[in-house]
Amino acid sequence: MGIVIRQSLKASIGSYIGVGIGIINQLYVSLHFLSTDQLAISRLLLENSLLFAAFAHLGAPFITDRFFGYFRDDKTQNNGFLGFLLAFPLIGISLFTAAYFLFEQPIQDYFAEKSAGLIPYHVLVVPLTIFWIYISVLEAYCRNNARIAIPTFIREVYLKLANVLVILLFGLGWYNFDWMLYLMIGSYGLAVVILLVYIYQLGKFSLRFDVTRLKDGMFRQMMYFGLFVVMGGVGTQVVYFIDRTMLSGGEGLTNAAIFIIATYIAGIIEIPRKTITQISTPLVSNSLRQNDMAHVQELYHKSSLNQLLAGGLVFLLIWTNIDGIFSLLPKADIYRQGKHVVLLLASAKLFEMATGVNGEIINYSKYYRYATLLMIVMACLAIGANAYLIPRYGIDGAAFATTLTTLIFALSKVGLVWVFFRILPFTFSGVKALAVLVLVYCVSLLLPAWNGSLWLVLFSIIGRSLVLMGLFAGLILWFRVSEDMNGLMGSVLGRVRGFRRR
């Protein structure tokens, strides 16, 4: 088994373990031990740091992916490129830190009326942003040295486990909330140290950067590429995270906490998308490089169909059991207020999934600059929509704004792919898939749902889910909605028959 396959397999295992830990943490541990204000503060610090890191790193992780080949040399430990990667973000970090403290008072004024509890802690986004920058940079360096398993384990397992442990010990009274935040941020700093030690053990650690490699305008090219990518990256983070930040400033930390949990539940439907995208992305990139548009269209159609099927099933399982899910959460009466937020956001995410890998098609084509420009427009739309809708409709307004932005973003990408390549993601199989989803949902309305004790609710959720999954699978196979699904099932049945013959 080659190193790439081994690393990919290990990374996939780490990712799925991380998903499980994340669900336990977000939907039980955090809700049980943290008040709504404390949960909102801890999440806002994390999400704001991700937003700030998106521009403060000046595109260093993407520069690594794009230009690493020019410096690759095992004999010289990649010409000390790591030294450049550690030094280059210091420019952005310095600018970000100066800007943050310059505008610290306006930031505090924004949160003062409705989320005053956040103000004493918001300065912690500075060290957390710095740690996120170097985690991203070191992950990129490892990735380009064909090492993704350990970095993935650190991000998906270690950081999430550390988060759970820090919250548990806080809940047990070992320290106060301030120290919980300090330790949480410290765990990210430790992640940076672990990555540096790992790189050293790989024999890829050298800070002696060969500056002569930056000749012939190389540094200018790197800066141009990095800053251009940063604009799109900032737009992405704004679209994903600005809603809860603006909600906390306009409606308070409790509403922000409700929205954050509802967003997390809705986001579960995107888990299958990550796997499909990981598989499709290199195929799309290679086909575009070879100008094989027939294969690109095939991938576009299949990704649209399979993401609709996978996301649609998860959507059904969540929404048909939504009351039971909320009843299982700690502080259920509070977080149940986000029920319709889940419906809006999950519906928008499902539609976006149904549009296939259009973003990847644009990003890996010669038209990639349009993706960046589109993200900037979407970021402005997200800010404007939230600014208009939150004061009028509160938490539902934030959900409307994010749903609107997501739908327009998805349709815009479909439009760009059509304009540039004359292909669409939708097929007749997609219509059949949608019909199956509607039919399964109608059946779910006939199934009983039991309330009462914890075990009765769990039994109800599991029982309903098994029935719906069985019906969904049967209909998909019977109507031959997806060749991939039928082929996979045929392969599984063939192996089962072969095993029985033995």
Rounded Cα gap, residues 139 and 191, in angstroms: 11
Let me know if residue 151 belongs to a domain.
yes
Rounded Cα gap, residues 39 and 276, in angstroms: 32
Rounded Cα gap, residues 275 and 146, in angstroms: 19
Token pair recorded at residue 17: 């373990």
* CA 187 to chain CA centroid, nearest Å: 20
Let me know if residue 419 belongs to a domain.
no
Assess contact for 37 and 257: CB atoms under 8 A.
yes
Rounded Cα gap, residues 351 and 347, in angstroms: 6
Let me know if residue 477 belongs to a domain.
no
Q: Half-sphere exposure of 480 toward its Cβ, with a 13 Å CA cutoff? A: 3
**Of how many residues is the chain composed?**
502
Q: Domain range for residue 68?
A: 1-215
Let me know if residue 364 belongs to a domain.
no
Rounded Cα gap, residues 76 and 83, in angstroms: 12
Q: Which residues contact 337 (CB under 8 A, 6 or more apart)?
A: 258, 395
Amino acid at 13: I
Assess contact for 123 and 185: CB atoms under 8 A.
no
Residue 454: the pLDDT is: 80
pLDDT tens digits, the chain, 502 residues: what are they? 445 445 555 656 766 787 788 888 888 899 999 999 999 999 999 989 988 998 888 888 878 777 777 766 666 655 667 888 888 899 999 999 999 999 989 988 888 888 888 899 999 999 999 999 999 989 888 877 767 778 888 888 899 999 999 999 999 999 999 999 999 999 999 999 999 998 888 887 777 776 766 676 777 887 887 888 788 777 888 888 888 889 988 888 999 999 999 999 998 888 888 777 767 777 887 788 788 899 899 989 988 998 999 899 999 999 999 999 999 899 989 999 999 999 999 999 999 999 998 988 887 788 888 888 898 899 999 999 999 999 999 999 999 999 999 999 999 999 999 999 999 999 998 999 999 999 999 999 988 877 777 888 888 899 999 999 999 989 998 888 887 777 766 676 666 666 666 6
Q: Which run of H or of E encompasses 332? A: helix 332-335
Residue 219: the pLDDT is: 78
Let me know if residue 432 belongs to a domain.
no
Residue 350: the pLDDT is: 95
Let me know if residue 260 belongs to a domain.
no
Let me know if residue 384 belongs to a domain.
no
> Total structural domains in the chain?
1
Rounded Cα gap, residues 267 and 314, in angstroms: 10
Residue 500: the pLDDT is: 61
Residue 1: the pLDDT is: 42
Let me know if residue 467 belongs to a domain.
no
